[in-house]
Amino acid sequence: MAGGIGSRFWPASRSSHPKQLLDLTGSGQTMIAATVARLTPLIPPQQVFVITSQKIRDAVSQELPDVPGANIIAEPAGRNTAPCIGLAALIIRRIHPEAVMAVMPSDHLVKDIPSFQRAMTVGIRAAAGGNLVTFGIRPSSPETGFGYIETGDEAAPGVRTAVRFVEKPSLELAQTYLRSGNFVWNSGMFFFKATAILNEIQQRLPELFQGLSIIDQAIGTPEEAAVIAAVFPTLPSVSIDYGIMEKADGIHCVPVDFGWSDLGSFEAAWDRSEKNAQGNALAKEHIAIDSHNCFVRAPAGKIVALVGLDDVVVVDTGDALLICRKDRAQDVRHVVSALASSGRDDLL
Amino acid sequence: MAGGIGSRFWPASRSSHPKQLLDLTGSGQTMIAATVARLTPLIPPQQVFVITSQKIRDAVSQELPDVPGANIIAEPAGRNTAPCIGLAALIIRRIHPEAVMAVMPSDHLVKDIPSFQRAMTVGIRAAAGGNLVTFGIRPSSPETGFGYIETGDEAAPGVRTAVRFVEKPSLELAQTYLRSGNFVWNSGMFFFKATAILNEIQQRLPELFQGLSIIDQAIGTPEEAAVIAAVFPTLPSVSIDYGIMEKADGIHCVPVDFGWSDLGSFEAAWDRSEKNAQGNALAKEHIAIDSHNCFVRAPAGKIVALVGLDDVVVVDTGDALLICRKDRAQDVRHVVSALASSGRDDLL
């Protein structure tokens, strides 16, 4: 899934060059390239499908030279995750009716790749039995920015039943969840047979299923592109979590601990970046005087000087400059809203 | 006097484009143009002489189209204010042996121009009698960044004797000075006959006087430029305050209150700039969310977004970016030192 726009990473992230096409932590790899790279030991590139937007389809394709161009599918309009996953399921079911899908956001970070790959095999095996399966991240702190999953009994080695999905909790509730030991973060990474998720969509999102069925009949025909272009934008915009996962029965959860981050803000990018002794993750050319725990990005060759600054995010892209208190990094999306409502689409 | 480099205004101020050539407060006029403009109702442009550096001589000349090119004199090397004033005095004495000089830094601000001009006439009249005269700024706060002058009895209407010059005081001492009512800030603006200051230099800075005498013999001859180039860099580097004013007798002081600022830092520039309701002096294109009392400069057309920032200075010049806590604005000069010692003369 590579359709996001990453508005909390403005001005680095733009609609034509969003978060998944950036290397926000200085890893040397864009997030989408890293996402595919950690899958390919288990899933050959020919079996990797990317659903993205028309605007960045070519850029995604260039980032993933080993993934066949035909596997990179542009949504005519963003309709949230349920239509995206439904479309992918149609395509994958045609290739193999028993196929298991691993659904991965293209803009998450994983630190411990071997552990991730071991968890993948557990997830895929669990999904092969017909259940919807999710990765649940063992919480390291009482985060209030994530949904949680309460896990139940062991369903198979390394797999638990999911008792319930809960929306982003209050801090108090999150602390209770953390203490209980039974709650994990909803990672947004899923495993299921293509047929299994289509069955769930048929039951719980019949309007979506109806639209997908029209598209399904056109797949492989000369009308495929025209039908997708006509029908997809009319599909209900709903997330797979809200539309299916929070309601479906028999969901299984693989509790995992592989150093995951959804990299939700510049604060998280700072957290995951290499830092110097002063806690600064800085642009290449810099002078920092009495400054600590800052995150700085600037165009190559530009010198950035900090004086007496703590916990500040600075992102200079040549045409735009963001300076943000690090603990307010979530609010960068409000800058994007303000630009949108003032008609500055050139900066989005 | 226009030889300064304004290192506390980096990266806006550069050796090739220093503070006096900037409009730091958004007034619409460079500081040097404003300095000459407030003098010209009293002193015609033909009688304005500018001592500056070779590097910015042409730029200064362009800024002051009404001042004859021959009046804009480049020092071969910066030697502080005493040699600068001595050289000007030689030139002015040749034009008229009884001439009174008004010595003005080119990078100070004056808010109340009519009041400044009234004070000028008082200063010029006081200097015509042969005394060294200085503008003393009535203090509005216990500043520790300025030297002070203790004033004594009235010497003429609007003129007092200067009892003593004191160096930058401690806060406690500055508070005592403020309460006493007899102390004023040393503005660095002086009035004296060219012959009077040359006499003082002869008495108190004989080495400087000797060098100036060699230059004096060459003025108006074909060797003038060569002699200045050879001799000026060998003159002792000393300030007029330390070398003369703090030691000379019979100094008079004109206490003034015309909204003066030496604009010593970006904090002062913020203080003197137009600000919005949130106290921000911002770049033209901006989005400010929960941000207050910031000073932002950026190239035309660049958008600057602030999120959750208070009391920060942001100066973007395209090739360099400064972000500085406003109350640390004095320390911007340390950035310049760091650049100099790392050989980045291209950024100075």
pLDDT at A311 over 90: yes
pLDDT at A88 over 90: yes
Q: How far apart are CA A33 and CA B262, in angstroms?
A: 55
Predicted pLDDT of residue B22: 96
β-strands B260-261, B295-297 pairing: unpaired
Predicted pLDDT of residue B180: 95
Are A307 and B325 in contact (CB < 8 Å)?
yes
**Of all residues in chain A, what percent are helix, strand and coil, respectively (each to 5)?**
40, 25, 35
- A interface residues, B as partner, C-beta within 8 Å: 10-11, 287, 289-290, 298, 301-309, 312, 314, 316, 318-325, 327-329, 331-332, 334-335, 338-339, 344, 347
Residue A320 · residue B305 · CB < 8 Å: yes
Percent of chain B exceeding pLDDT 70 equals 100
Residue A8 · residue A333 · CB < 8 Å: yes
Q: Which residues pair with B35 in a beta bridge?
A: none
Predicted pLDDT of residue B151: 97
10 Å CB burial of residue B157 (0-12, 13-18, 19+) is exposed
Number of Cβ atoms within 10 Å of the Cβ of B125: 17
Residue B165 · residue B249 · CB < 8 Å: no
DSSP assignment, residue A78? -
Are A323 and B306 in contact (CB < 8 Å)?
yes
**pLDDT tens by residue, B73-101:** 999 999 999 999 999 999 999 999 999 99
B177/chain A closest Cα distance in angstroms: 31
Are B319 and A303 in contact (CB < 8 Å)?
yes
A26/chain B closest Cα distance in angstroms: 20
Mean residue pLDDT of chain A comes to 96
10 Å CB burial of residue A122 (0-12, 13-18, 19+) is buried
CA-nearest residue to B303 within chain A is: A320
Residue B263 · residue B269 · CB < 8 Å: yes
**pLDDT tens by residue, A251-289:** 999 999 999 999 999 999 999 999 999 999 997 889 999
DSSP assignment, residue B242? I
DSSP H or E stretch at residue A162:
strand A159-166
Chain B residues whose beta carbon lies within 8 Å of the beta carbon of residue A335: 287, 289, 305, 307
Predicted pLDDT of residue B5: 87
Nearest one of A51, A6, A49, A10 to A31, comparing CA atoms: A6
pLDDT at B220 over 90: no
Predicted pLDDT of residue A258: 97
Predicted pLDDT of residue B284: 82
**DSSP class per residue in B255-281:** EE-S-EE---SHHHHHHHS---TTS-B
Instruction: Extract the tokens encoding A285.
Output: 């050319």
CA geometry: angle A183, A184, A190, nearest 5 deg: 135
Instruction: Extract the tokens encoding A313.
Output: 């995010």
DSSP H or E stretch at residue A135:
strand A132-137
**Torsional class of A317: left (φ above 0), alpha (ψ -120 to 50), beta (otherwise):** alpha
pLDDT at A10 over 90: yes
**DSSP class per residue in B112-179:** -HHHHHHHHHHHHHHHHTT-EEEEEEPPSS--SSS-EEEEEEEEETTEEEEEEEEPSPPHHHHHHHHH
Q: Which of A11, A323, A329 sits opposite B309 (nearest CB)?
A: A323
Residue B46 · residue B68 · CB < 8 Å: yes
Nearest one of A18, A185, A195, A166 to A96, comparing CA atoms: A195
Q: How far is CA A123 from CA A1, A39, A94, A102, in A?
A: 18, 13, 22, 8
pLDDT at B316 over 90: yes
Nearest one of B272, B301, B267, B270 to B284, comparing CA atoms: B301
Q: Which of A302, A304, A321 sits opposite B304 (nearest CB)?
A: A321
Phi, psi of A77 (to 5 degrees): -160, 145
Q: How far apart are CA A348 and CA A344, in angstroms?
A: 7
Nearest one of A131, A124, A184 to A155, comparing CA atoms: A131
Average pLDDT rounded to a whole number, residues A52-64: 96
Average pLDDT rounded to a whole number, residues B135-156: 95
**pLDDT tens by residue, B156-185:** 999 999 999 998 999 999 999 999 999 999
Phi, psi of B98 (to 5 degrees): -100, 10
pLDDT at A116 over 90: yes
Mutation target to probe the B interface, by most B beta carbons within 10 A, among A267, A323, A324, A345 is A323
pLDDT at B283 over 90: no
Predicted pLDDT of residue A5: 87
Are A305 and B314 in contact (CB < 8 Å)?
no
Residue A164 · residue A177 · CB < 8 Å: no
Q: How far apart are CA B340 and CA B343, in angstroms?
A: 5
A58/chain B closest Cα distance in angstroms: 28
Are A303 and B314 in contact (CB < 8 Å)?
no
Mutation target to probe the B interface, by most B beta carbons within 10 A, among A267, A297, A303, A331 is A303
CA-nearest residue to B329 within chain A is: A307
Exposure of B313 in the CB half-sphere (CA atoms within 13 A): 29
Residue A192 · residue A131 · CB < 8 Å: yes
Average pLDDT rounded to a whole number, residues A199-224: 96
pLDDT at B23 over 90: yes
Instruction: Extract the tokens encoding B217.
Output: 């013999």
Are A324 and B301 in contact (CB < 8 Å)?
no
Which value does ipTM take for this structure? Answer: 0.89
Q: Which residues pair with B256 in a beta bridge?
A: B137
Chain A residues whose beta carbon lies within 8 Å of the beta carbon of residue B331: 289-290, 307-308
A43/chain B closest Cα distance in angstroms: 42
Residue B279 · residue B293 · CB < 8 Å: yes
10 Å CB burial of residue A157 (0-12, 13-18, 19+) is exposed
Judged by DSSP in three states, B34 sits in: helix
Nearest one of A238, A270, A267, A261 to A330, comparing CA atoms: A267
**pTM, two decimal places:** 0.90
Chain B residues whose beta carbon lies within 8 Å of the beta carbon of residue A319: 301-303
Q: Which of B302, B309, B331 sits opposite A319 (nearest CB)?
A: B302
- Scanning the structure block, which residue is given the tokens 């002794």? A277
Are A324 and B338 in contact (CB < 8 Å)?
no
Are A307 and B344 in contact (CB < 8 Å)?
no
E-state strands within A173-227: 183-193
Judged by DSSP in three states, A218 sits in: helix
CB pairs under 8 A between A and B: 122
What sign for the dihedral angle of Cα A261, A264, A268, A272?
positive
E-state strands within chain B: 50-53, 72-75, 100-103, 109-110, 132-137, 148-156, 159-166, 183-193, 251-256, 260-261, 286-289, 295-297, 303-307, 312-316, 320-325
